[in-house]
């Protein structure tokens, strides 16, 4: 792996305009090595554009995105080579088996990996001979994470990894994210599920209208809110409806 | 290099696992070949005859007009040219006989001997042409007989026969290279358009953009795959076509297969480039399909795939002779049935080269990842 530089991601005053819409309006933050960093916000807030600038998929109008010491606009190829990317919409070649897809992507990074081992990390080794179109939604997301892991990335970007998944599959994905973090990777993820952010993220940036309006640990953010004298409308219960659903239908995956 | 190989191998796997693509690449063209090959268009047309007019005077022109017949009764389809060209046409089957009018034809007091050379394998057509020739010269002679007696004997026309054994193999052999050329067009254009447009609309290309590889690697893999496919496809189509329809390829010359591979690669490159340009422009399959069809459909009928350009009106052939598929079909036909080799092809190679350059220039401008 490349030399460790901390903070592993530095975003400095990123700006991006699409015709008359300002998608990113001066976003700055840092991500420390080994943490799970969450970006929260409603649809259209600028999360995906920010992430895609960091990934080298889009050029910023101004500002700097530095990944592990390399400025993305100076050497996008070098940045792409050391990060793992799960896009919001992922698609892979049809007519190829999962193991062949993983193998192909590994070769694109000139990485030597055992495709089955990578698939087993995301729990898909039993489907190694299946084709992409045969997979369920949760399996597709897990495959795209497997593909993002082929180059042993310094940073893993996950753009809305659990959108559209049922609670069972979502929980399984959370476990996977924790496991990848435990293996030493830094993870940046976007979500609009607050529960997910609370569950997974070490720190959270709340994005609105292309700007970061809050950035701290989930606990600190909640404490700040409570210190203003805020009282939740409903009585806090010991369990959520999510728990009821999982209790009724079980934790087992349905795919 | 390793990345390029990996992409090529993967896209070959994808291609050969796609049964539908194989159907369009192989079975459909074969079906067309066999159906058209069973038809006999020669039956309905007047025989083609090359006439060499060494005299080139009023009398010889009148004789040629008489041999053509009139609009009520068409007698012979006449082509003219140099003696070499006409004999080459006879040898390789695009005409059935050569009639040589001697330089002294129509000059009073000289005995003009018309030479009649025919392909011994087409006795029926020889009989038709010979009968027409005798009747017409007889009529000319009788006209001459109207003149006063003292000139009559001196104005004599004779006919001498000679025979060759040609290598022309008729419409069936003519059809095979044309259909193979059409199949190259379909494979090159459609498989490129449909795979790339699908990859683009599904986001597969976008996902590739997130990797360190450039567009060049990915496209190189795609192009290599299609190049391998068109050469294999040409072999299969020409071999199966030749066996089923019972014709020989390149007069049995082994180098003809090498020449065919080169033409298949050139044709493949050309139509792949057009495919890349279309798939760069089209956003999804719905817009790509009509464009691909608008490009290929007219060429299927205007480029001499199913019937020769000579049956089309002149104003149309003036344009259609420059179509990309015309160059490819003509070149492949010259090698398979007309005894040419890649080194003797001229205009076809230049035509293909020009079209390849134009198409790649457009493709590079048009290609987009998303």
The residue of chain B with its CA nearest to that of A133 is B202
DSSP A97: B
* Number of alpha carbons in the 13 Å side-chain half-sphere of residue A137: 14
Burial of B277 (0-12, 13-18, 19+ CB in 10 A): buried
User: What pLDDT does residue B317 have?
Assistant: 83
Partners of residue B207 in chain A, C-beta under 8 Å: 85, 87, 90-92, 147
Cα–Cα dist B91/B35, whole Å:
26
- Chain A residues inside the 8 Å CB shell of B18: 95
Which residues of chain B make contact with A110, given a CB cutoff of 8 A? Answer: 2-3
Q: DSSP characters for B41-86?
A: GGGGSPPEEEEEESS-SHHHHHHHHHHHB-SSSB--EEEE--HHHH
Is the predicted pLDDT of residue B297 greater than 70, yes or no?
yes
CA dihedral over B159, B161, B167, B168, signed as positive or negative: positive
ipTM of the modeled complex: 0.84
How many residue contacts between A and B have a Cβ separation below 8 Å? 63
Residues of A within 8 A of B13 (CB-CB) are 95-96, 100
Contact B64, B51 (CB under 8 A): yes
Strands (E), B26-179: 48-53, 77-80, 97-101, 112-119, 157-164
Q: What is the pLDDT of residues B306-333, one digit of tens each?
A: 877 777 788 888 888 899 999 999 999 9
Q: What is the CA radius of gyration of chain B?
A: 26
Among B306, B293, B235, B241, residue whose Cα is nearest residue B265: B235
Which residues of B fall within a CB distance of 8 Å from A80?
Answer: 210-212
Of the candidates A207, A206, A146, the residue with the CA atom closest to the CA atom of residue A179: A146
**B203/A89 touch (CB, cutoff 8 Å), yes or no:** yes
pLDDT tens sequence across B151-197 = 444 445 667 777 776 666 677 788 889 999 999 999 889 888 888 88
**Average pLDDT value for residue range A3-15:** 87
Cis peptide before B177 (omega within 30 of 0): no
Q: What is the pLDDT of residue B154?
A: 43
Q: Among B124-133, B142-151, B342-351, where is mean pLDDT lowest?
A: B142-151
Report residue A10 as tokens: 């530095």
Q: Are strands A62-67 and A9-18 parallel, antiparallel or unpaired?
A: antiparallel
- Select from A104, A129, A149, A155 the residue whose CB has the most chain B CBs within 10 Å, as the one to mutate to test that interface: A104
What are the pLDDT digits (tens) for B23-79? 878 888 888 888 877 776 555 567 788 889 888 888 888 888 888 877 667 778 888
* N residues, chain B: 370
In angstroms and rounded to an integer, the radius of gyration of the C-alpha atoms of chain A is 19
Beta-ladder partners of A31:
A9
Q: How many CB atoms lie within 10 A of CB B83?
A: 12
Which of B17, B206, B211 comes nearest A95 by C-beta? B17
Cβ atoms of A7 and A31 within 8 Å: the answer is: yes
pLDDT digits (tens, 9 = 90+) for A127-164: 999 999 899 888 998 999 999 999 999 999 999 998 88
Chain A contact residues (CB < 8 Å to B):
55-57, 77-78, 80-81, 85, 87, 89-96, 100, 103-105, 107-110, 147
Q: Per-residue pLDDT averaged across B281-308, rounded?
A: 85
Given a cut of 90, whether residue B355 has pLDDT beyond it is: yes
What mean pLDDT is reported for chain B?
82
SS (H, E, C) B297-337: HHHHHHCCCCCCHHHCCHHHHHHHCCCHHHHHHHHHHHHHC
Instruction: In whole angstroms, give the CA distance from residue B364 to residue B232.
Output: 27
Q: Within its chain, how far is the Cα of A67 from the centroid? A: 15
- Quote the DSSP letter at residue A132: G
């Amino acid at each position: 792996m490349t030399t460790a530089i901390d903070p592993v991601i530095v975003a400095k005053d990123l700006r991006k305009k699409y015709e008359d819409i300002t998608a990113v309006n001066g976003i700055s933050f840092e991500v420390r090595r080994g943490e799970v960093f969450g970006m929260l916000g409603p649809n259209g807030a600028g999360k995906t554009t920010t992430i895609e600038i960091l990934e080298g998929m889009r050029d910023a109008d101004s500002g700097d995105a530095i990944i592990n010491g390399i400025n993305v606009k100076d050497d996008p190829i070098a940045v792409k080579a050391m990060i793992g990317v799960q896009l919001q919409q992922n698609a892979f070649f049809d007519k190829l088996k999962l193991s062949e897809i993983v193998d192909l992507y590994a070769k694109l990074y000139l990485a030597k990996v055992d495709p089955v081992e990578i698939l087993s990390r995301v729990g898909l080794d039993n489907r190694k001979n299946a084709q992409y179109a045969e997979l369920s939604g949760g399996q597709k997301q897990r495959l795209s994470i497997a593909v993002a892991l082929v180059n042993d990335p310094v940073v893993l970007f996950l753009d809305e990894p659990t959108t559209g998944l049922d609670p069972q599959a979502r929980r399984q994905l959370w476990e996977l994210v924790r496991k990848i973090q435990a293996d030493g990777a830094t993870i940046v993820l976007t979500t609009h599920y607050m529960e997910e952010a609370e569950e997974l993220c070490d720190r959270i940036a709340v994005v609105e209208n292309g700007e970061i309006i809050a950035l701290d640990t989930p606990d600190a953010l909640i404490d700040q809110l409570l210190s203003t004298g805020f009282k939740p409308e409903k009585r806090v219960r010991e369990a959520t409806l999510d728990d009821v659903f999982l209790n009724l239908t079980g934790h087992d995956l349905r795919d | 290099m390793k990345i390029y190989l990996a992409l090529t191998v993967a896209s070959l796997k994808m291609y050969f696992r796609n049964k539908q693509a194989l159907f369009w690449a192989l079975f459909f063209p074969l079906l067309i070949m066999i159906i058209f090959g069973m038809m006999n268009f020669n039956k309905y047309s007047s025989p083609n005859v090359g006439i060499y007019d060494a005299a080139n005077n009023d009398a010889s022109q009148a004789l040629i007009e008489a041999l053509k017949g009139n609009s009520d009764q068409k007698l012979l389809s006449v082509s003219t040219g140099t003696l070499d060209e006409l004999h080459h046409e006879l040898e390789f089957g695009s005409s059935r006989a050569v009639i040589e009018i001697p330089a002294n034809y129509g000059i009073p007091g000289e005995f003009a001997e018309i030479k009649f050379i025919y392909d011994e394998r087409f006795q029926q057509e020889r009989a038709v042409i010979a009968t027409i020739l005798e009747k017409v010269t007889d009529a000319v002679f009788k006209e001459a007989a109207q003149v006063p007696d003292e000139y009559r004997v001196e104005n004599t026309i004779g006919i001498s026969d000679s025979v060759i054994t040609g290598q022309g193999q008729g419409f069936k052999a003519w059809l095979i290279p044309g259909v193979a050329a059409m199949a190259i067009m379909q494979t090159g254009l459609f498989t490129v358009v449909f795979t790339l447009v699908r990859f683009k609309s599904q986001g597969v290309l976008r996902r590739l953009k997130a990797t360190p590889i450039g567009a060049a690697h990915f496209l190189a893999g795609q192009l290599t795959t299609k190049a391998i496919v068109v050469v294999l496809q040409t072999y299969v189509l020409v071999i199966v076509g030749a066996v089923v329809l019972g014709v020989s390829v390149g007069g049995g010359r082994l180098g003809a297969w090498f020449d065919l591979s080169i033409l298949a690669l050139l044709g493949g490159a050309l139509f792949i480039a057009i495919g890349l340009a279309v798939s760069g422009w089209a956003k999804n399959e719905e817009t790509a399909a009509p464009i691909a069809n608008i490009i290929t459909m007219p060429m299927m009928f205007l480029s001499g795939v199913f019937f020769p350009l000579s049956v089309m009106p002149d104003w149309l052939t003036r344009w259609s002779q420059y179509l990309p598929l015309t160059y490819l079909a003509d070149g492949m036909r010259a090698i398979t049935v007309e005894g040419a080799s890649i080194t003797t092809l001229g205009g076809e190679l230049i035509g293909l080269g020009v079209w390849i350059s134009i198409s790649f220039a457009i493709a590079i401008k048009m290609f987009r990842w998303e």
